[in-house]
Structure 1
Amino acid sequence: MATSNHTVGTFTFFILNGIPGLETAHAWISLPLCSMYLIAMVGNCGLLYLIWVEEALHRPMYYFLSMLSLTDIFGINCVMPKTFAIFWFKLKEIDFNTCLVRMFFIHTFTATESGVLMLMALDRFVAICHPLRCTTILTNSVIALIGTAAFLRGAVVILPFHFLVRTLPYCRTNVIAHTYCDHMAVAKIACAGAWIDAVYGLVVASVVNGLDILFIVVSYAMILRAVVGLSSKDARSKAFGTCTAHLCAIVISYTPAFFTFFTHRFGAHTIPHHVHIIMANLYLLIPPMLNPIVYGVKTKQIRDSVLKLMGDKMAPT
């Protein structure tokens, strides 16, 4: 295994080893991952462009959807280019500081996505429970402020990861059995015990994601109560219909996230390591790939805007 000159027990670079045990299949594994990456990039960039050019989509719901797409784009681009460099060109080395910076942004955007999903629940609550006050409550300045707060919250809670990992001594090996600089994957190769990192990671997941999920559940409980109280069946169906895409996005985002988080900490001896690494990559790719598709299929305004835009492009000049 490659090593480097080191000072005070700390290597100057790491080796990202890809998927342990499946090194000979890296090129084949990269094909579906690359396809998912391209679909995610095209879908989210297309969604952002559609919301930008269509005035009918200049509403709070779609501004929050733009935040979700931006978060997904930045998140996967912190990971996938280096992953493909490992799979295709065997470029496994990564500078110690670069690894920590990427680790910070990977987990920051993951925490931000959870916050954006929570804000989207807030938008649905205001739109359904207080429809006449929606535009006065969720103004553009308020949306920008709470969106920025969601990112800053993620950055603040993830920043201690950077310092915790930096203070650990790395004297046994600099080989990380992963495709990217995941926090616990880096901490586990340290000479000293990484129990503080594990505990803090568990606290962050419990507090940040736990509070977001609690807020989402409370919001939808109040939405359900308001919708059930509607006298018209069509009104109830329409109200529920505006929530389905967001509920699908929640399931898509949180299910692989919690599977990856808990297996990394508690399932190391029961789940093969290569399965965990593959799931860790899918966890970062599946939500960005599926979110634009789900919103495109489930949201009539987006479908209509796509057809309108395509009609304008195809119309003779």
Structure 2
Amino acid sequence: MTQLNNALTLFFSLLVEAIPFLLIGVVFSSALLLFVDERKLVAMMPKNPLLGALAGSMVGFLFPVCECGNVPVARRLIVQGAPASVAIGFLLAAPTVNPIVFWATWTAFRGQPEIVFLRIGFSLLIATIIGWVFSSQADLRPLLQPAVAQSMPAPQGRRSRRSKFAQSAEPASELLQSGTFLLNSSGQPMRMEAVGAQAALAASSVTTKPLSDRLQLMLDNVVQELRELGGVLILGSAIAAIVQVAIPREVILSLGQGPITSILAMMLLAWVVSICSTVDSFFALSFASTFTSGSLLAFLVFGPMIDVKNIGLLLSVFRGRAIVYLFALAAQLTFLLTLIINLYVS
């Protein structure tokens, strides 16, 4: 019974911590849809894959959301045809490379300013590299959920026929689905994939609609995305709470004595506890006296990118194998960079 109470306490604490930031991300996502000409935003991004990944990684300074709120924004960018390098760079870097997290980390580690700057630098570097790697996938659709792939603009040379991923998608619901509806001439929502090129043309005119119409559609979009992403957030939070209760923390901490095992232990701890990036620095501070600097950085860098809680959110956008790729690349790069800190800097 005590373990059940602890699990419920952790579950609700994760939800209370995460939902406000999820709401911020959804609002930003809807604002992108209705108040920003996303085609211009995407067009402003560098065409070079490496520079595009770097630019996408730094967009977090404009959209300060944590790992609960970055997924809906990244999904909007993907749906609007943003290059894979830009979308992936933003997805991985935004939870850390933003002014709110910088301020929180500085508050916790003001006595160790190198932790603050290395956290931002490593996060930016890892997100840029992974975004660059994903840019080699010319068409991102095979890595996306069918509903998301269906909503994307068709690649050049394929606009005359539907994508096989669109054909495999579930039948369209009559309800508003996030990122797939626009206002038609009568002010009613219309599906982007149902009207093909007509919707693409209409996208450029959304920002010219009356403010009241745009606000109403924005509200509808916020409600729908909260329903979609809120459900998987609840499931992810429940899994995170169960894992934290089922696995004694002492088992994880007992591994943190050496330069290698300490990094692995803190990466595992970051994955399990799933603490929001705006407050995780205070959690990591409690281990500062017993763990190496590299392992603290591993916790602060890896956790916001991939943790138990946000896997459910990622599954609303990506297929399982894409998440495995993201997880493996982020884990390997984090381990290598923080191991260098342990071996040659600390």
* Bigger share in helix: 1
Task: With the length of structure 2 as denominator, give the TM-score of the two structures.
Answer: 0.29
Task: With the length of structure 1 as denominator, give the TM-score of the two structures.
Answer: 0.31
